[in-house]
Amino acid sequence: MGDALLDMKIEDWKHIFKLDPAKSISDEHLDLICTSGTDALVVGGTDNITLSGVEDLLGRIKGKHPIPCVLEVSTMDSIIPGFDGYFVPMVLNSRDKKWMMDVQHQGIKQFQSLIKYVEILFEGYCILNKDAKAFQHTNCVMPDEEDVLAYAYMAEHVFHLPVFYMEYSGKYGDKELVKRVKEELTDTKLFYGGGIETLEQAKEMKQYADCIIVGNSIYTCFEQALETAKINEERTV
Ligand SMILES: CC(C)=CCC/C(C)=C/CC/C(C)=C/CC/C(C)=C/CC/C(C)=C/CC/C(C)=C/CC/C(C)=C/COP(=O)(O)OP(=O)(O)O
Ligand SMILES: O=P(O)(O)OC[C@@H](O)CO
Ligand SMILES: [Mg+2]
């Protein structure tokens, strides 16, 4: 476990960059991401996640940049030691128990002896973009507002999850819905991810979500994506 974990207070995180191990990023861009003012890096994606892709990113970040670096696990065989923490998605709106319960159950059986040595956090995912790879991969059903609010309730009051993640991966989401969900949560933190390409969008969603996650735009409009970390410059103490 890296030293950065000692400072890893996810309840204070406002901005995260999510790096996809299946995509390539130059050293120059990676350095700029690490020094952007973001609170943490999450390494994760849905498809083509390989051990070597994860190892490559970890090796290029750790030891070089003092920033928390978390693996968001999506496959069993790409879990490696060395990250400051591990996030495990549980897909609440999947039609299949597999993506909410079974893969995690299998993972705990396999890694139980190691789990006590790492920082691990389970995320209640609600995937809200029907075109997202993760939506299709996990056979999700599109929830309406009432459904989303009930999933948020379950995340907080039934499963006592530390994070409820409104995942619009690839699409800018419904800010009114994010606002409604935030109003219902007390202890569970609200993560929002999806389609953030500009500082204005980052600021808008950050009004409601506790933490925003910026992923794809790192690979499609780098300079603008980098700017989104500026929401942390306006942080009040
Ligand atoms: C020392 C050591 C190695 C300790 C390890 C301890 C540890 C971490 C144990 C974990 C045990 C465990 C519970 C394992 C479970 C692993 C597992 C298979 C979990 C499944 C998670 C899951 C439901 C994945 C489905 C896909 C998903 C929801 C991914 C989330 C991320 C996401 C939506 C990314 C966006 O995807 P992207 O590829 O960017 O998509 P776009 O192309 O649309 O942008
Ligand atoms: O890739 P984007 O659309 O920025 O979404 C970020 C993150 O929520 C993906 O898991
Ligand atoms: Mg992506």
Q: How many CB atoms lie within 10 A of CB 109?
A: 8
Domain ranges for the chain:
3-234
Is 0.90 topped by the overall pTM? yes
What integer pLDDT is reported at residue 3 of this predicted model? 45
Alpha-helical runs (H) found in 116-216: 133-137, 145-153, 175-184, 199-206
Over residues 74-103, the mean pLDDT reads 97
Residue holding tokens 């994860």?
Answer: 54
Q: How many CB atoms lie within 10 A of CB 94?
A: 22
Residue 1 in this model has a pLDDT that exceeds 60 = no
* Residue 46 alpha carbon, nearest atom of ligand 1: 38
Q: How far apart are CA 139 and CA 96, in angstroms?
A: 7
Residues with CB under 6 A from ligand 1: 20, 44-47, 72-76, 79-81, 86, 88-89, 91, 99, 103-104, 107-108, 111, 114-115, 118, 120, 125, 132-134, 137-138, 167, 169-170, 215-216
Query: How many alpha carbons fall within 13 Å on the CB side of residue 44?
Result: 26
Backbone angles phi, psi at 211, to 5 degrees: -145, 135
What integer pLDDT is reported at residue 205 of this predicted model? 98
Q: Is 216 annotated as a binding residue?
A: yes
Over residues 116-131, the mean pLDDT reads 97
* Residue 122 alpha carbon, nearest atom of ligand 1: 13
Judge if the beta carbon of residue 202 lies within 6 A of ligand 2: no
Judge if the beta carbon of residue 167 lies within 6 A of ligand 2: yes
What integer pLDDT is reported at residue 63 of this predicted model? 86
Judge if the beta carbon of residue 215 lies within 6 A of ligand 2: yes
Residue 2 in this model has a pLDDT that exceeds 50 = no
Partner residues linked to 127 by β-bridges: 167
Residue 5 in this model has a pLDDT that exceeds 60 = no
Q: How far apart are CA 14 and CA 7, in angstroms?
A: 15
Residue 4 in this model has a pLDDT that exceeds 60 = no
How deeply is 176 buried, as exposed, middle or buried, from its count of CB atoms within 10 A (0-12, 13-18, 19+)? exposed
pLDDT above 90 coverage of the chain, percent: 94
For residue range 189-211, what is the model confidence (pLDDT) as tens digits?
999 999 999 999 999 999 999 99
Question: Among positive and negative, which fits the CA dihedral 187, 89, 193, 50?
Answer: positive
Over residues 1-24, the mean pLDDT reads 79
pLDDT-based confidence at residue 184 (cuts at 50, 70, 90): very high
Over residues 111-122, the mean pLDDT reads 96
Centre of ligand 3 to C-alpha 218, Å, is 9
Nearest CA to ligand 1 atom 37: 45
Hey, what CATH topology would domain 3-234 get? TIM Barrel (3.20.20)
What integer pLDDT is reported at residue 9 of this predicted model? 85
Please state, rounded to an integer, the average pLDDT across all residues of the chain.
95
Q: What one-character-per-residue DSSP string does 56-114 give? A: HHHHHHTTT--S-EEEE--SGGG--TT-SEEEEEEETTBSSHIIIIIHHHHHHHHHHHH
0.95 surpassed by complex ipTM: yes
Residue 146 in this model has a pLDDT that exceeds 60 = yes
What integer pLDDT is reported at residue 7 of this predicted model? 54
* Residue 171 alpha carbon, nearest atom of ligand 2: 3
Residue 222 in this model has a pLDDT that exceeds 50 = yes
Judge if the beta carbon of residue 193 lies within 6 A of ligand 2: yes
Centre of ligand 1 to C-alpha 234, Å, is 31
Residue 6 in this model has a pLDDT that exceeds 50 = no
- Number of helical H runs and strand E runs in the chain: 10, 8
